[in-house]
Chain A
């Protein structure tokens, strides 16, 4: 019999708590299951894991949670984790969305971020004063190892947790992925090891005391006093104000107007209505509808348009934030 490992820190309620901030499709839900299973079945803690759920779809924000405690403690709580000891951000783009991904971070928190950027830059993005910060290029490693990014992050989280046994996690990965995708197992285990090893992890001391204010729970701007009765949306079409940039996971179509023949196929195949067309004169001097370019705020990077384009006017490139900023052709205002 092995003796039970110790949790490095817990809240007053006895829990070591984990929160993962992700985008549907990056595999946070599965990572949570693997991580918690390793802690419970592999290491003997009591534990729980779950995700925030909506309809089945890719590209939307999702939160995954895990809690660990002494095996003798009963778990009754079913509510989300508000003060994580370990916060894992599955894509650094989530830091830019203004959504509350870092809420509840204290000096006790270690934040792990999937990012290509250096530690200091990520620290600034997170707005981290004190506490731990780990940075790992999960997508880069995943591409190299032909794995999912979530196994890289599992490696990073395992090390950052300060208590999780990497062997227990490897075993849980083998149990979950080995069953579903046996061919991908080896790459995923390599990715796990690399995430564990290659994460840059730093502990920051800070003189400013993090105020332990309750993290804001989401309150809808529409309530019983101002919401139109019956749940009606009286200003429909308002999704045009959204920015779907975070739902992209790496590639975008790049538009070369000089190669464009304005045939319209991109416009017809685009599920997200990103193309801006105007009445005008094309390069040959003919009057007609002219493709002005892409509003990247709505583009999810599916690349259907690249496939549909009969010329080379649309090409697949790795997303570059600056390029996107400079080349977005806004639809808003033209739609009316």
Chain B
């Protein structure tokens, strides 16, 4: 840039550049400059970009941070914990459900006193599922023993990430640190930012890593995490409390030192025009920034208003809050998370507690819950809340109880921005339930072989089966050419009678159930990735129990089907194995679209070696996914369930037969698992119209063999070799730009390795098919 920026650039002792970046990009930039040893992660919107960006920098050789793609956030936190005990610098990033899934691990990290840094890109927690920004996840962090720094804008994300490490590793502190910033508002919006040109300045500021205890120093054995009973645990926790108190001293020191380096000041509590204010607004992060604009415009009307927001949440800066708001007549505490039934969010309790300890304080506090689920917060919303504060300056707030308004009628607690709905809006059914007889048109005949006990199925023609009704209505929002729906359509043609479905989180779920719409004509339940199988097993067993008690007719047959995809069988594997081992009467269908596509093409474990995804880049250092594809069907077969099968769209009759068999077993109280390979033209960057052809190539190159394991007996249903349709692996890989590089000379090693692995698994499968004992 050749514009004079004097007075715009920050003046610190270190040289800085100006750039235009998002919050997630700034978190990744800080991580690169710090050069963390390791990052354990699991993708979750809106934090995912951090791992993606670091992966891209790693692939290009710009940083050395080892990325470990966990199979879920609980494991990601475990990886981080283990890594931090082994004496190096560790990073994590998560949001919402991810944070809650990891939550159990977080007090382990703090209680055993291993510093690390985790970015929390704040987002609403399920359910119903919402991926946008609020603070309902962050509030669960308050009791974990982690230091929590808040980053109100993109610049602060960078600055806090650098300071966080320094604070957490301080010898008086030794605690993990979270940096929290607003999902989408801060994580995805791009703004003008500054960063240190030289990594050396960052490294000098954070200093060398000083290890205290190490799990990998055998000459100095140490027991990390003993069993600690009642005489001692309280003392351990008191030490943690003392560390937090020490952090109270350390944080301002680090902030001050950073200000010298960067020219940017961070007080513990950011007070905007509160010196002479009568009324104020307390809010966290991006909303507090917007409120400053609102305060400016109200100041022009000569209203004495100000805005208060902390930069540090743990330890809670109570004294600074007292100083900032203690002299106000009224304060609206705006919260992007409710503590249901508490008549306040957590910030209300903490601000009120701080004011309670201020002798003679008479500030009137009013709480408004706003902006849940990322609901936009406009400047005029902030103005409304400031005006509410002005109005509240005259009197005492009433209790939050409905109907208890007295005096000026301002409730101490309420929601801001809720809407009652349109009374004339119709909730009348749009489609009628599918009559069971319509799904039973004698098109499918199933028989059990009296000798072997195994099933044989005969179906009508593809054409005749077009008469079967679809359980998913058109109008869903999937991408053009999506493979999920041809697969599910073909699968469900094989299922007769009444059905209950459960979809785990994923594309199939997101695109069919965008509230207030739903494409599901049969009863549908959603639960998160890691727990669908357990949830559906609960449904199945309740149904059976109610049948046993006579509450539901014993002869009423329902078929229960769980649908998973988008890597749901990674994070949900434990739950699926549990349900399989308990052998509930249900079907698990996995549409394997080879990646976490609903969050933007991160690797799932089923992705083949060497493939490029947003978390397995290709470049001078990284060569795509570093480990072989997961064989989910064989893992499920190892639970010894009665029926496991693979199929793919295009092999319609094969799939219908397998669906019918799965239903036969499910309705006799056994769990059946079917895996369907499923095209994702968006992320594979394959041609939208070629879904079936890409699938066929995956089958014909033996990457995805079509077989079933019925009562332990393996049968290959489609053998590309005997049909003389076998194609080289490169035919399939070449159809998908995301793996086309594997067919080139630079990736020969990965290609050969993948080809050998596919062949090894194929030969083993053939041996299993030839020998009933295998």
Contacts and interface: CB of A to CB of B under 8 A. Distances in A.
B427 interface: yes
B482 interface: yes
Nearest to A236: B518
Q: Is the interface of A mostly helix, strand, loop or mixed?
A: loop
Given A56-B600, A57-B478, A307-B690, A237 B463 contact: no
B421 A225 contact: yes
B486 A268 contact: yes
Interface residues of B, number: 104
A40 B185 CA distance: 19
Nearest to A82: B378
B466 A239 contact: no
Nearest to A66: B190
Interface stretch (A108-116, A124-132, A139-147, A240-248): A240-248
A275 B467 CA distance: 12
Nearest to B475: A239
Interface residues of A, number: 94
B512 A78 contact: no
Contacts of A331: 474
Given A79-B377, A240-B431, A289-B467, A222 B425 contact: yes
A164 to B, nearest CB: 15
B689 interface: yes
Contacts of B427: 226, 228, 234-235
Given A48-B191, A240-B430, A233 B517 contact: yes
B2 interface: yes
B632 interface: no
Nearest to A301: B480
Contacts of B650: 268-269
Interface stretch (A68-76, A99-107, A154-162): A68-76
Interface in B186-238: 186, 188-192
B494 interface: no
Contacts of A274: 474
A169 B569 CA distance: 44
B529 to A, nearest CB: 14
B457 interface: no
B420 interface: yes
A287 to B, nearest CB: 11
A330 B636 CA distance: 42
Interface stretch (B100-108, B286-294, B333-341, B739-747): B286-294
A307 B601 CA distance: 26
Given A33-B190, A238-B518, A303-B689, A289 B430 contact: no
A236 B434 CA distance: 12
A156 B36 CA distance: 44
B452 to A, nearest CB: 31
Contact of B682 (A58, A82, A230, A237): A58
Contacts of B524: 236
B480 A55 contact: no
Contacts of B477: 57, 59-60, 239, 244
A2 B131 contact: no
Contacts of A51: 188
A225 B216 CA distance: 59
Contacts of A263: 462-463
B670 to A, nearest CB: 28
Contacts, number: 294
A302 B517 contact: no
A79 B376 contact: yes
Contacts of A279: 467
A306 B547 CA distance: 48
Contact of B598 (A47, A56, A72): A56
Contacts of B246: none
A295 B474 contact: yes
A267 B507 CA distance: 21
Interface in A220-264: 220-228, 230-231, 233-242, 244, 247-248, 262-264
Interface stretch (B3-11, B82-90, B356-364): B3-11
Select the residue from A2, A78, A231, A295 with max chain B CB neighbours within 10 A.
A78
Contacts of A13: 293, 379
A221 B377 contact: no
Given A242-B475, A263-B462, A49 B689 contact: no
Contacts of A42: 1
B527 interface: no
B449 interface: no
The 9 closest A-B pairs by CB, nearest first: A223-B421, A239-B475, A44-B3, A237-B431, A302-B481, A242-B475, A76-B289, A236-B518, A302-B480
Given A1-B3, A302-B480, 13 more contacts: A40-B192, A43-B3, A79-B378, A217-B376, A236-B524, A238-B431, A238-B516, A239-B474, A239-B517, A264-B461, A269-B649, A272-B478, A273-B470
25 contacts: A1-B2, A3-B3, A40-B20, A41-B1, A56-B600, A57-B479, A76-B289, A76-B292, A79-B379, A220-B419, A221-B421, A222-B516, A224-B418, A226-B425, A236-B518, A237-B521, A238-B475, A240-B430, A264-B465, A272-B478, A272-B485, A273-B473, A273-B474, A306-B689, A335-B473
